[in-house]
Structure 1
Amino acid sequence: MKKLFRALLISAGVALVATGCASGPQYKDVASAIPTLAADHGRIYFYRSDSLGGGMIQPEIKLNDKVVGRSVPGGFFFLDEEPGDYTVSTSTEVTREVKFALHAGDTKYVQTSVSMGLLVGHVTPTLEDAETAEPEVETLKYTGTPMSTAAK
């Protein structure tokens, strides 16, 4: 009976951890479908590393106060936007934000990460450089709007 209970407990724990992770195609499976950036736009990648801590904390990500996605462990998505000033924010028990200017032809990378909070973890967006972000994004799953996976 103890073995059965232990097995059920382990299965429930694995299921709980799995529900916090991104589902969707791997980067390598959608890379060829990511469109070429238009000359008059910039691209913003949003991503979150796949970690065990804080998996159930998946707040909305807002770009200039408009919801554009969620901070999902192990996931990434991107948006193409016109040049301008942008604020990315996330909220749990506090609001955290990062501000930056986007120019035509730019690619920006916004990482969200979880830290301890009083009642619930805080998810903080930070601007990362391409050398750090690109290899990380390539290990993640696409959580944005569906794309055709046919090569472009």
Structure 2
Amino acid sequence: MIKLSRVLIAASAAALLATGCASGPEFKDVASSIPTIKESQGRIYFYRSNSLIGAALQPDINLNDQAVGKSKPGGFFYVDEPAGDYVVSTTTETKKTLSFKLEAGETKYVKTSVGLGLLVGRIIPSLESSEVANKDLEGLHYIGTPTTAASK
């Protein structure tokens, strides 16, 4: 009886955590419909691997202090922006930032990962190579929002 209760509690917890993960079409299903980048712009993909560790942490992802989406486990989205200097930031108990220059026609890949914090975990942005990112994107779900390029 106690063993069954533990199994039910574990299953309930897993189901609850899973509901926080990204849903939507997979990358492979939308990749061919993503438009080409305009000449004067670059593209920034944001993504997070699918893991239950830190799944409840889903802070906004800010680009130059403007929210462009959320860091959701198993999700990705992109924005097209003019060439220039950019700062990506996420905030939980502390603010984590990543700065880079985006050139016209260039694609950057920003991965957000869970890190340990004092009271709450941290979501840490990092740049990934296109080779690593393209492998990571397989199986992730599109979570585009009204602020992403797909809706412009």
Q: Give the TM-score normalised by the residue count of structure 2.
A: 0.91
2-structure distance, mates of 1:119, 1:145: 29
Match of 1:64 in 2: 64
Q: 1:88-127 to 2 correspondence within 5 Å?
A: 88-127=88-127
CA apart distance, 1:4: 4.9
* Contact map agreement 1:19 1:56 (CA 8 A) in 2: no
CA-CA distance at 1:20 after TM superposition: 2.6
Structure 1 ranges of 4+ moved more than 6 A: none
Equivalent residue for 1:40?
40
Identity value in percent: 58
Q: Distance in 2 between matches of 1:118 and 1:3?
A: 33
CA deviations 1:24-69 (Å, max 9, x no partner) are 1111111121111111110000000111210000110000000000
Q: Can you give the 5+ residue segments of structure 2 that lack an aligned partner in the other structure?
A: none
Consecutive unaligned residues in structure 1, runs of 5 or more: none
Figure out how many residues of one structure are paired with residues of the other and give that number.
148
In the alignment, the residues of structure 2 paired with residue 51 and residue 3 of structure 1 have an alpha-carbon distance, to the nearest angstrom, of 26
Local SS of the residue matching 2:139: coil
CA RMSD of superposed structures (Å): 1.7
> Pairwise mapping of residues 131-150 of structure 1 onto structure 2 (< 5 A)?
131-145=131-145
Deviation at 1:3, TM superposition (A): 5.4
Residues 20-31 of structure 1 aligned to structure 2 (within 5 Å): 20-31=20-31
